[in-house]
Amino acid sequence: MDEVFRLADEFGPARVVHIHRPAVGLRAIVVIDNTACGPAVGGVRMAPDVSLDECARLARAMTWKNAAAGLPHGGGKAVIFGDPKLPAEQKERRIRSFAQAIGDLADYIPGPDMGTDETCIGWIKDEIGRAVGLPSALGGIPLDEIGATGFGLASCIDVARSVAGFELKGARVAVQGFGAVGKHAARFLAEKGAILVAASDAKGTLADQDGLPVSKLIALKEAGGALSDFAGGDKGGTDAIIDVPCDIWIPAARPDVIRADNVMRLKTRLVVEGANIPLTMDAEQALHDRGVIVVPDFIANAGGVICASIEYRGGTQRAAFDYIDERIRSNTRVVLDESRRGGVTPRRAAQELAKTRVMAATATRRWR
Ligand code: NAD
């Protein structure tokens, strides 16, 4: 009894389901954390080393992200144990079997995450008629292709830079991780007059205080190249991006890249979190104490899940962009105002905002 409810608190999880189908080598866990705001939306992660704790933590993060974004969705997550690079046939069988097993979990809507892509989501939809992040042939909005999360980051940055007191035109931007999130953030910011002074990928950092050509770098990456293949700029190791002087620093790669031991190296006025948990809590606090604004992940990078939610409700790409822009701007403003008023970090203010929304939704539910 104690072990089963070890993860439980006042917000959830509402349901934890273990799935075991030895015939197809399927072992999976679904955590439906909280459904006060509506059916839970959250990705399906496939990796060999996933765990119940990871699944529960990610499901809770989705509860806050969806509530903060004002979506009619609670938070959930699923993990499938296994190598995401399984031979295609075996992977399809395992994912389809997973889908059949969650068919009756009507308050969980699965989406893509690490190790699953839109094709996997298409298989799930085929089995149970319910999923987000679909291929465009099935009515999906290709959120990574259109840059939904990067677009939301640019909206967030436009508000945060006005609070910090500088213009976007001419602002120097550094982007760690020039992938689906990072490259589109750079593109939308460049369209507003900002200057990309550094970008990094898994192979290294490219920097130039006079500005880098964003569209050429995107074309280079899309052709399968690395930033270090670009003829020009200064080249450095992956870590060198941390030392580049800039006005806006965007982590869009891995978790925990800025910690107590390297946070003092950042020379920026604003950090906007494209990746999930890219800064440790003590690093966020240290920057806050130095007067650097840090907009937390679940406010800044909500563009992707907002897009998925609009897709689920049959909306268009245009509607998704409008909603992302409006919602992320207003949330950023509220969170930074509350942070100033209360003298707390923007993350703390954002958590309060999300909790208040979940509690308001809970008050309307029969089983509280
Ligand atoms: P991606 O795989 O498209 O891009 C990641 C990029 O980071 C790649 O260019 C890779 O080379 C680079 N990279 C890896 N290790 C690095 C390192 N040590 N230093 C610098 N660069 C490194 O992934 P993505 O979809 O852009 O996601 C990036 C992050 O954003 C992840 O944390 C993800 O969870 C988060 N996120 C993504 C979305 C989305 O819509 N895709 C939404 C919310 C949050």
Cα(187) to ligand 1 centroid in Å equals 16
Whether 77 is a known active-site residue: answer yes
Q: Is pTM beyond 0.85 here?
A: yes
Q: Is the per-residue pLDDT at 3 higher than 90?
A: no
Q: What pLDDT, in 10s, does the model give residues 285-317?
A: 999 999 999 999 999 999 999 999 999 999 999
At 95, list the tokens.
Answer: 């994912």
Mutational test site, ligand 1, from 77, 175, 181, 299, max ligand atoms within 8 Å of CB: 181
pLDDT digits (tens, 9 = 90+) for 245-295: 999 999 999 889 999 999 999 999 999 999 988 999 999 999 999 999 999
Could you tell me the distance, in angstroms and rounded to a whole number, from the CA of residue 100 to the centre of ligand 1?
30
In the DSSP assignment, the letter for residue 310 is H
Ligand 1 atom at minimum distance from 178 CA: 9
How far, in Å, from the CA of 179 to the mean position of ligand 1? 5
Yes or no: say if 359 and 365 are a contact pair by the CB < 8 Å rule. no
* Dist CA 229 CA 207 (whole Å): 13
Q: What mean pLDDT comes out for the span 20-44? A: 97
| Ligand 1 nearest atom to the CA of residue 274, by list position | 30
Q: Mean pLDDT in the chain?
A: 95
State residue 368's pLDDT score: 60
pLDDT at position 5 is 87
Choose the residue to mutate in 45, 132, 153, 201 for probing ligand 1, maximizing ligand atoms within 8 Å of C-beta. Answer: 201
22 C-alpha to center of ligand 1: Å?
33
Query: How far is the CA of 83 from the CAs of 30, 47, 117, 121, 134, in angstroms?
Result: 18, 5, 14, 17, 22
